[in-house]
Structure 1
Amino acid sequence: MGKLEFELEVKSSVDKFWGGMKDTTVIFPKIFPNRFKSIEVIEGDGVNVGTVRLVKYSDDTPVITFAKEKVELLDDVNKILGYSVIDGELMTHYKTLKGKVEVVPKGEGSLVKWSMEFEKASDEVPDPVLIQEYAAKAFTELDAYLLKE
């Protein structure tokens, strides 16, 4: 198993950023039309554990057209979201992809802690650094969107 992680400071309060994270099904296609065609809830309520989302990526997104993500952990008290990718092109390269996002107070804003554990399908497969870069950019842009709300 490999692991990637980063921490990112955002200006939004913990509660505001956490609320945005829980509402990405609705928000992300709105603020990232160049990345997402749609995000559709196919099981569950769209937020809580057991939710499965079908994420359809735009033509501008290289390599992948869709991914199915399952919410594995939702802790409102500690503001932790855990998910796994369960279907899509990524799963031809990785046996497992499990992401975790934690939002903690930092000054007047928040610190977003992201990590992804992965198991490659073969040694030739690169670490999912593109997913890490994608997540960092998404959090930065989500913060900017929430600050305008």
Structure 2
Amino acid sequence: MTLYGKLETDVEIKVPADKFHELFSSRPHHVSRASPHIVQACKLHEGDYGKPGRIVIWSYVHDGKAKTAKELIEAIDEEKNSITFRVLEGDILDEYKSFVVTFQVTPNDTGNVVHWTFEYEKLSEEVAHPETLLQLAVDVSKDIEAHLITA
């Protein structure tokens, strides 16, 4: 068995791609307003919002437990509405040697699609693939959609 993995999913949203992207790139601390039952906080640790190289610390709930993740923003592409995050520290690294999250928002016939990609290396074969974390990304995406629609 391989320890490396990749999971992907699409989430259809009915809000502008640039608005969804901008929330994560320039105002990630507002994600907790959109999805307070999942994301408790996002604090800037280093760097500037909207810029690659920024490090943020997320406080969130996963599988009913409070968790944290310190993430480096590796890439932000305003034209493609994509962002790549690398987990540097936190609960995720209790099970994964490396964990990279990328999302890109693109238009479709009914609005836009958020394409989430998780690339990871498990610490051992006993570690499950991160399907529940991927579902968390889907749930947060839907919460952000609802928040942006009412804003």
Shift, 1:22, TM fit: 2.2
Match of 1:44 in 2: 47
Match of 1:80 in 2: 82
2:35 pairs with 1:32: yes
Q: Is 73-82 or 27-36 further displaced after alignment?
A: 27-36
Q: Is 33-42 or 96-105 further displaced after alignment?
A: 33-42
What CA distance in whole angstroms lies between the structure 2 residues aligned with 1:63 and 1:124? 20
RMSD: 1.7
Match of 1:140 in 2: 142
Q: Is 84-93 or 18-27 further displaced after alignment?
A: 18-27
Match of 1:126 in 2: 128
Shift, 1:46, TM fit: 2.5
Q: Mark the CA change 1:99 to 1:9 in structure 2 (over 3 Å): closer, same or farther.
A: same
Unmatched tracts of structure 1, length 5 or more: none
Match of 1:113 in 2: 115
Shift, 1:24, TM fit: 4.8
Match of 1:70 in 2: 72
Deviations 1:69-120 (A, max 9, x none): 1101101111110011110121121001001000111135211111000100
Q: Mark the CA change 1:14 to 1:33 in structure 2 (over 3 Å): closer, same or farther.
A: closer
1:12–1:143 CA contact under 8 A, matched in 2: yes
Match of 1:13 in 2: 16
Q: TM-score normalised to the size of structure 1?
A: 0.90
2:105–2:114 CA contact under 8 A, matched in 1: yes
Match of 1:90 in 2: 92
Amino acid at match of 2:85: Y
Question: Size of the alignment, in residue pairs?
Answer: 148
Classify the secondary structure of the residue corresponding to 1:49: coil
Amino acid at match of 2:21: W
Classify the secondary structure of the residue corresponding to 1:65: strand
Match of 1:102 in 2: 104
Classify the secondary structure of the residue corresponding to 2:49: coil
Shift, 1:61, TM fit: 5.5
Unmatched tracts of structure 2, length 5 or more: none
